Amino acid sequence: MASGPLETYSPSQTLERRHQQQKRKSFNEIDWARSDGRNFHQCRPAYLRTGATSSASGSAYAEFGSTKVIVSVFGPRESKKAMMYSDVGRLNCNVSYTTFSTSTRGQGSDNKDFSSMLQKALEGAIILETFPKTTVDIFALVLESAGGDLPIIISCASLALADAGIMMYDLVSAVSLSCFGKNLVIDPTSEEEACQDGSLMIAYMPIRNEVTQFTLTGEWSTAKINEAMELCLDACSKLSNILRSCLKENVLDFTD
């Protein structure tokens, strides 16, 4: 079971300085600050560990601020549905929430699409040809929801797949961002998501330089989309390094 200290994956200070002049005016135009004290381009501290569930083929636990997620991977195992495909395996994803993970009871309508979105984000990273006629099942459970649920689920699931020994082209890291007028706020909390003007999320394979999932809501200018993507991709690359460090610690723990 590998674990590590809280780490940051905020976009680089170079990007921060590049946008500083245009941001300074926006900061002064509104009397608003993030409730947790972060600046607009600062991500929450991330804690990750593998081997969270002993009964699974692979598993991982992620804690980003107050958002807590556990992902279990089972398989590859024989499947009647997968038998229809002769050359590639099949991926099943299920995302659920504990009863008291959110302030409102039950699973929100937006969250019901998370299972299919998780599958789309991961399928492009998995070498499905390595387990033909079988299925890999991914079960993600949100223990506490405090914003940025889907990107955290995707990143944690990628780590769990690697822990299970599933062959992948690259790890997938995901980051989301909210738009408030002229301001871009990375890694939003649930309170920030509730009043955002728009949102952007990217799931990314840094080594292959490929985006596996991209979602956009609200009205955006082309320049603002480019700025948001630059911030998210930089954060994704840094988060990927944290995922890799966690896996390396797992190998060291195993050899010891």
Cα distances from 79 to residues 47, 75, 82, 115, in angstroms, run 34, 10, 5, 19
Q: Rounded to 5 degrees, what are φ and ψ at 49?
A: -150, 150
Q: Looking at residue 3, what DSSP letter applies? A: B
Distance CA(86)–CA(177), nearest Å, equals 40
Per DSSP, the residues of 148-217 read -HHHHHHHHHHHHHHHTT--BSS--EEEEEEEETTEEEES--HHHHHT-SEEEEEEEETTTTEEEEEEEE
Peptide bond into 132 cis (omega under 30): no
What CA–CA distances, in Å, run from 89 to 57, 118, 215? 16, 17, 26
Is the Cβ–Cβ distance between 111 and 199 less than 8 Å? Answer: no
CA angle (235, 63, 76) in 5-degree steps: 90
131 near 76, Cβ under 8 Å?
yes
Residue closest to 15 by CA, chosen among 241, 235, 236 = 235
Instruction: At 252, list the tokens.
Output: 């060291």
**What does the pLDDT look like over 217-243, one tens digit per residue?**
999 999 999 999 999 999 999 999 999
Instruction: Give per-residue pLDDT as tens, 22-69.
Output: 444 443 444 568 988 999 999 999 999 999 999 999 999 999 999 999
The full set of domains in the chain, from first to last, is: 13-255 (3.30.230.70)
Per-residue pLDDT of the chain (256 residues; tens, 9 = 90+): 555 567 778 887 656 555 554 444 443 444 568 988 999 999 999 999 999 999 999 999 999 999 999 999 999 998 766 566 568 889 999 999 998 877 654 455 456 799 999 999 999 999 999 998 899 999 999 999 999 999 999 999 999 999 999 999 999 999 999 999 989 999 999 999 999 999 999 999 999 999 999 999 999 999 999 999 999 999 999 999 999 999 998 776 655 5
Q: Whole-structure pTM over 0.85, yes or no?
A: yes
